[in-house]
Structure 1
């Protein structure tokens, strides 16, 4: 057995990280967003932020099978493509911050971004950036910086998509699912190039594939369009609990 795999299997926080992955996948499956907002604050209680970002990015492979095929049919591919392109270009900036900043600073940033995003969602605030290509490129760039540094690539694009007037719930979910999955996977080469993809993180990500896949599979099958509001409120509650648990005042 590879040494890094043995270390991952023997890590005392593995059961909790796997449970967090399952829960994050479940929420992602039925709400269309929120997986990183739940996973990152809780996982960083047990592993370093860099390891959590790498492992969670790898676990997104599961969504290629469980979520993306169905979402791809409804997604606005041009809009998502523009945001993805900008995200990929700016991801190295965020990864550099993840590499250089103290771990506690990153953990605190994850907690604050999580709670700040939740506050914006509950208050009904949306990103008023208008229409056209430029706003989508701007949102994608913010997502790349935030995702590379904290693993939270979702907040900018979530606030943007939920604020798009007249956009059906199914299209919003599809846009978020495709964007979040594909951009999370795009973090992996950037992490490797900057030396933040150690074997331990890779094996941890492999171990998370099964619980995350199970969660997303179950979440997709739980989704009912007429209950979108209920799912969203449930996701908000879990995001709030995760953000509060990650605040440094408790540790």
Structure 2
């Protein structure tokens, strides 16, 4: 393990990885999601994508002692448990589809759904009824499947939360709990896929403290009474995630 840690400390561009991890943590601490969107584009410049995914999953464990404890009392535990279980099961399927299928058409559908929903939310659309268990299973499953397919588990979940009647504090807390737990549950899935290697784990632990520091800064910046500002930031992050998922960029 010492050799793996020394190798992690010798990673090319480590200082940039640390800095972008802090920024990703700040975004996550404030918004409750969006860290992967910040981290992944920069990380893959210096390390392989599979290593970037694994290191991010390991570093995200710091959320258990930073943003997670304050978020947990604010959530509907039964509801978020349903979302987490369905997302985890669907993530395995998303990873499998990513490995064996041509996913371009699926990614276009994902982009279209996110775009339409985002436009509707900006225009003021909200649902007024209490979501059923079936609805939560569907939303969790969709979020998990897309997460397994693209690494972006947050946007669908956040769109669902922002469209409801929950307060911004509850919305953020639900997203924090959902993403923290699903990230942890992704670790054994990554291990089964052979992605969670010793060097990746070591680098993830190196980045764990910067991520946790950033998350605490972001959490301190969050003000539940500033709902309009929070929504603008959330919509901007989801918009960037949607643009990043457009398959067209790969052909340019």
Q: CA RMSD in A?
A: 3.2
> In the TM superposition, what are the counterparts of 1:5-24 in structure 2 within 5 Å?
5-24=5-24
Q: Distance in 1 between matches of 2:94 and 2:244?
A: 24
> In the TM superposition, what are the counterparts of 1:1-251 in structure 2 within 5 Å?
2-99=2-99, 117=114, 120-121=117-118, 124=121, 131-164=131-164, 166-234=165-233, 247-248=249-250
Q: Distance in 1 between matches of 2:54 and 2:126?
A: 28
TM-score (norm 1): 0.82
CA positional deviation for 1:14: 2.0
Q: Distance in 2 between matches of 1:195 and 1:185?
A: 16
Cα distance per residue 1:105-138 (max 9 Å; x no partner): 89xx6xx978985785466267979720111111
Cα distance per residue 1:200-228 (max 9 Å; x no partner): 21112111111110011011111112334
CA positional deviation for 1:154: 0.9
CA contact (8 A) 1:86 1:137 kept: yes
Q: Distance in 2 between matches of 1:205 and 1:234?
A: 27
CA positional deviation for 1:183: 0.3
CA contact (8 A) 1:72 1:178 kept: yes
CA contact (8 A) 2:24 2:36 kept: yes
Q: Secondary structure at the match of 2:65?
A: helix
Q: Distance in 2 between matches of 1:34 and 1:232?
A: 13
CA positional deviation for 1:100: 5.5
Q: Secondary structure at the match of 1:224?
A: coil
Q: Distance in 2 between matches of 1:61 and 1:230?
A: 28
Q: Secondary structure at the match of 1:226?
A: coil
Cα distance per residue 1:151-177 (max 9 Å; x no partner): 21112211111111x211111011100
